[in-house]
């Protein structure tokens, strides 16, 4: 964990308010003006993030799914929450989450702050009945009241879920990592750091592969996401047979000015509707957020449903033009890549690993909890 925040730790020791060092290749870290990142808040947020008492059966913390040793992901296809119940979606890494503009794979939260409380009352994640349970744990704890006092200047009775959220997001904003071989090559001008294959992969990524169309690289930085939503056809086979019936019911309800009934689908296929679940716009069916790709070599398996095991499998998927469906995005089409070009793209993505994880090995060994 410490290595993740090396850049910040130096400043934490020197001041109580941190100004983050800027790792090569990342945009400036946006820290809300009213929300200075202080050592007290970050340390408190890290404790809350790892505390399993904020769950119905005392076994699940944020860190049960977002494992610090696995780049804050878990190596499983789909998340497992209380009583080991499997969810419908892959756990995204939280590294560099501070740079995103939209959260969750369907963008149902617009800020990090908005995101935090969702998992606590999600019946198959932390599974709490309500958020009062969080405050009860905090107030009864030996150390938390003193730490909230130091971090936010509040007496025990004044501690609210808002403080909980602010501590956790302070911690999340320290999870930054750039300075990968790609950054040193592209932004730092060191032409020796990429293998020839990875350098060709970068060109393919930007040109023939059309990847940077969505996994954005801008003038001085790259988050590898445009924060938009696209249909690649991943998981579409789970909804397609019932889709005509679903869409007809949707239009009929719209015409009649009624709430439409989405129970044609049970929970698992409903999750495949993606962005539609947020906007209720038919063209958003099967659209998911473009994920950032930094350190992606270490966060297998891939895609919102964890259905693709390796980066080569992902490249093959794009090469054949995704999974054909009526809502497939226009930017997804057969690429006709040669075998060497596929390897080059994989080599390029492997060059997106930041130095602090270079020895982390493959992230494919799943978590146990």
Binding site for ligand HEC (CB under 6 A): 60, 62, 64-66, 79, 81, 87, 89, 91-92, 94, 97, 100, 103-105, 112, 115-116, 119-120, 125-126, 168, 209-211, 213-215, 230, 232, 234, 288, 290-291, 293, 296, 299, 302-304, 311, 314-315, 318, 329, 331-332, 345
Taking the complex as a whole, the smallest distance from the CB of residue 251 to ligand HEC amounts, in Å, to: 25
Taking the complex as a whole, the smallest distance from the CB of residue 180 to ligand HEC amounts, in Å, to: 15
CB-nearer residue toward ligand HEC: 162 or 248: 162
Taking the complex as a whole, the smallest distance from the CB of residue 18 to ligand HEC amounts, in Å, to: 20
Q: Yes or no: say if 335 and 349 are a contact pair by the CB < 8 Å rule.
A: no
Taking the complex as a whole, the smallest distance from the CB of residue 334 to ligand HEC amounts, in Å, to: 11
CB-nearer residue toward ligand HEC: 18 or 105: 105
Closest CA to 346 of 167, 226, 195, 130: 195
Buried b (16+ CB within 10 A) or exposed e, 97-132: bbbbebbbbbbbbeebbebbbebbbeebbbbbeeee
CB-nearer residue toward ligand HEC: 16 or 52: 52
CB-nearer residue toward ligand HEC: 176 or 211: 211
| Cα distances (angstroms) measured from residue 197 to each of 201, 293, 345, 348, 357 | 6, 18, 8, 7, 21
CB-nearer residue toward ligand HEC: 40 or 319: 319
CB-nearer residue toward ligand HEC: 114 or 249: 114
Taking the complex as a whole, the smallest distance from the CB of residue 62 to ligand HEC amounts, in Å, to: 3
Rounded to whole angstroms, the Cα distance separating 172 from 109 reads 15
**Sign of the CA dihedral with 105 first, then 110, 112, and 118 last:** negative
Taking the complex as a whole, the smallest distance from the CB of residue 214 to ligand HEC amounts, in Å, to: 3
Q: Yes or no: say if 38 and 164 are a contact pair by the CB < 8 Å rule.
A: no
Closest CA to 313 of 51, 77, 16, 4: 77
Rounded to whole angstroms, the Cα distance separating 332 from 324 reads 9
């Amino acid at each position: 964990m410490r290595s993740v925040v090396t850049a910040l730790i130096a400043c934490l020791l020197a001041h109580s308010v941190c100004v983050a060092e800027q790792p090569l290749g990342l945009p400036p870290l946006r820290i809300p003006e009213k929300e200075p990142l202080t050592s007290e808040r970050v340390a408190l947020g890290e404790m809350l993030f790892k505390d399993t008492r904020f769950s119905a059966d005392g076994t699940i913390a944020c860190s049960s799914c977002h494992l610090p040793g696995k780049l804050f992901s878990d190596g499983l296809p789909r998340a497992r929450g209380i009583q080991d119940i499997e969810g419908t979606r892959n756990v995204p890494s939280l590294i560099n989450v501070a740079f995103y503009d939209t959260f969750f794979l369907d963008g149902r939260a617009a800020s990090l702050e908005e995101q935090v409380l969702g998992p606590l009352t999600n019946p198959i994640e932390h599974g709490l009945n309500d958020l009062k349970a969080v405050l009860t744990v905090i107030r009864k704890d030996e150390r938390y009241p003193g730490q909230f006092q130091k971090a936010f200047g509040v007496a025990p009775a004044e501690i609210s879920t808002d403080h909980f959220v602010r501590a956790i997001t302070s911690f999340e904003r320290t999870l930054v990592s750039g300075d990968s071989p790609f950054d040193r090559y592209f932004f730092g001008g060191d032409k020796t750091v990429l293998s020839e294959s990875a350098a060709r992969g970068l060109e393919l990524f930007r040109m023939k592969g059309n990847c940077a169309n969505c996994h954005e690289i801008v003038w001085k930085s790259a988050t590898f996401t445009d924060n938009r939503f696209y249909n690649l056809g991943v998981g579409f086979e789970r909804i397609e047979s019932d889709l005509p019936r679903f869409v007809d019911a949707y239009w009929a309800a719209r015409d009649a000015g009624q709430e439409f009934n989405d129970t044609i689908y049970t929970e698992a296929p409903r999750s495949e509707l993606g962005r539609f679940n947020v906007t209720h716009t038919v063209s958003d069916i099967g659209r998911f957020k473009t994920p950032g790709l930094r350190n992606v070599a270490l966060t297998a398996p891939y895609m919102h449903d964890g259905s693709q095991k390796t980066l080569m499998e992902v490249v093959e998927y794009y090469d054949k033009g995704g999974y054909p469906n009526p809502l497939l995005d226009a930017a997804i089409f057969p690429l006709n890549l040669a075998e060497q070009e596929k390897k080059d793209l994989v080599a390029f993505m492997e060059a997106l690993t930041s130095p602090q994880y270079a020895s982390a090995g493959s992230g494919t060994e799943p978590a146990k909890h």
